[in-house]
Amino acid sequence: MTHNRSSWKSNAGFLFAAVGSAIGLGNIWRFSYMAHQHGGGAFLVPYLVALIIAGIPIMILEYGIGHREKGSSPLSFARIGGRFEWLGWWMPVVAMFGIMLYYSVVIGWCVNYLFYAFKLSWGTDTQGFFFKQFLQISESASDFGGVRVPIAFSTLLVWVLCWMICFRDIRHGIERASMIFMPIMFLLTIIIVLWTLFLDGASDAILKHYLHADWSKINIFSMDASVRSEAGKVWTAAFGQIFFTLSLGFGIMITYASYLPDKSNISKNAYITSIINCLYSFIAGFAVFGIVGFMAQSQGVPFEEAIKGGPQLAFVIYPKAIAMLPSFNVLFGVLFFLMLVIAGITSGVSLVEAFTCSVTDKFDWPRNLVVTLICVTGFLGSLVFTTRAGLYLLDIADHFITNYGLVLGGLLECMIIGWVFKASKLQSYINSRGTSIPAIWNVLIRYTTPGLLGYFLYLSLAGDLDKNYGDYPTDQLIIYGVGWMLICLVVALAFAFSTWKPEKLKRRHQPEEDDLLV
């Protein structure tokens, strides 16, 4: 049993850290592009529905179980039942050795571009600069072509920053950094949004392509089968975006909640974290649509031709638009990429922390030693993504990890808490700590949310069996996608099979207290 566990100094510090984990690069470039693809303002309807019936319920679940057991995800699930410990390891292992290895490289790109912004080094051909000069991308995922030294150095800097923040205990490391970084990031976002709104063509793009609603895109009750099918994909995308943007299924929120004091309003914190994260995505969308609208008007091309999704939005479209600004180009570029770096770092440290806490909980090794080993190992593992084939490897690994690894973790998490541990027991515990959660939460955790996540798994699997993802060769998908997942599973099982100290598994609450709570 952990007696000297660190804790947050304040609830505000916890919220800043949790929101910092949830708000990442995807909030800025993924949400906006999805809104463009899926009906503009109409996309907000399935997005909000997904937040209410999937995002917030799982956030409450993870906060509740982490706070109740005062442990990382492996310790929390081991206390529920030893046979479930592997799942507790699966989540942080996938987050650390799956996502963080390539996420650190993407943050490294942002660091590189932050320095490029001071001289607008990307020039006018931003696409050629990104792919040919910066990435020097190879012909395929099988052609590694050597490490790109500038990217490797920026990735090293990212790992060093994560190490410096996570090296100290949660109160003096992550909490202190979050209290500094998050207000700065919010301020930068507001400045960029307000700046963008006054650009020529921005308001037109926002009104016609962001806020304008194409309701046919979400009409799952249409009499036309093709319309229903396309609408179904939009709803699926909305649920997927909610699940991933809130850092659910990573083991992060379980870990962060375990550092909360006993007298904490769990459900209220879950509501605040979820709502702020989604509100940030919506507000950041104004900057994205505004700058793309400005660029489209300046070039005399349709908005649809100007906008791109994923990394291209940040590293091709935005730099091109920045270069076309009538004044203060350098300042705008520096502010934008500084915002991306902060968003990336605050998410990155949470991925490192989730695994760090898991290891220290089980083995009682010194925190500073664990963090150092993790960051050194993580940097060495991320080097493969700094090669000239890095973008291909990143794309494949991200597809399999986010569409299978995290969804499977979230589904099993709901099943175990809902049916084995009993959601009603956790609900009673959460209600006794503050704001009560509605009775329907029990139904959502046991039936609705796992059912939806199972449906997502089916859709992903059916799509991948029907056609190779990204038209990659089958062997590359198996090696870099399936193979990566299997390695994570082996690592998770290896940790799960090691023995706990008996006192570690002692429950925080006596059975009589659980009976009273029910």
The interaxial angle of helices 329-363 and 101-117, nearest 10 deg, is 150
Place of tokens 């009538």: 326
* Residue 387: strand, helix, or coil: strand
Of the candidates 28, 102, 39, the one whose C-alpha atom is nearest the C-alpha of residue 235 is 39
Residue 158 to residue 169: CA distance in whole angstroms? 19
Residue 251 to residue 357: CA distance in whole angstroms? 10
Angle value at C-alpha 187, between 184 and 189, nearest 5 degrees: 110
Count other C-beta atoms under 10 Å from residue 256's C-beta. 29
First-last CA distance in the chain: 24
What per-residue confidence (pLDDT) applies to 515? 37
Residue 508 to residue 517: CA distance in whole angstroms? 14
Chain centroid to CA 107: 13
Residue type for position 141: A
Of the candidates 253, 482, 489, the one whose C-alpha atom is nearest the C-alpha of residue 351 is 253
What per-residue confidence (pLDDT) applies to 192? 96
What per-residue confidence (pLDDT) applies to 243? 80
How buried is residue 512: exposed, middle or buried, by Cβ count under 10 Å (0-12/13-18/19+)?
exposed
Residue 407 to residue 496: CA distance in whole angstroms? 20
Residues 6+ apart with CB under 8 A from 278: 47, 48, 51, 55, 242, 245
Residue type for position 352: V
Of the candidates 269, 288, 319, the one whose C-alpha atom is nearest the C-alpha of residue 121 is 319
How buried is residue 315: exposed, middle or buried, by Cβ count under 10 Å (0-12/13-18/19+)?
buried
Beta strands in 315-371 (DSSP E): none
Task: Answer yes or no: are the C-beta atoms of 98 and 491 closer than 8 Å.
Answer: no
Rg (CA), the chain: 22
Task: Answer yes or no: are the C-beta atoms of 379 and 156 closer than 8 Å.
Answer: yes
Scanning 416-448, the segments in alpha helix (DSSP H) are 423-431, 440-443
Task: Answer yes or no: are the C-beta atoms of 245 and 26 closer than 8 Å.
Answer: yes
What per-residue confidence (pLDDT) applies to 511? 42
What per-residue confidence (pLDDT) applies to 156? 98
Residue type for position 397: A
What per-residue confidence (pLDDT) applies to 4? 67
Place of tokens 């190490």: 163
What per-residue confidence (pLDDT) applies to 507? 63
Task: Answer yes or no: are the C-beta atoms of 264 and 252 closer than 8 Å.
Answer: no
Count other C-beta atoms under 10 Å from residue 179's C-beta. 16
Strand partners of residue 423:
none
Phi, psi of 425 (to 5 degrees): -65, -45
Domains detected in the chain: 11-517 (1.20.1740)
What per-residue confidence (pLDDT) applies to 508? 56
Q: What is the pTM of this model?
A: 0.93
Residue length of the chain: 518
Strand partners of residue 40:
213
In a 13 Å sphere around the CA of 200, the CA atoms on its Cβ side amount to: 10
Q: How high is the mean pLDDT in each 10-residue block of the chain (518 residues)?
A: 74 96 88 86 91 94 95 94 94 93 97 97 95 96 94 98 95 95 96 95 93 88 81 82 87 96 94 96 94 93 85 92 92 96 96 96 94 97 97 92 86 94 94 93 94 85 86 94 93 92 69 39
Residues 6+ apart with CB under 8 A from 246: 22, 55, 58, 59, 253, 273, 274, 277
Q: What DSSP string runs through 58-84? A: HHHHHHHHHHHHTS-HHHHHHHH-GGG
* Residue 309: strand, helix, or coil: coil
Residue 81 to residue 473: CA distance in whole angstroms? 41
Assigned token pair, 91: 């989540």
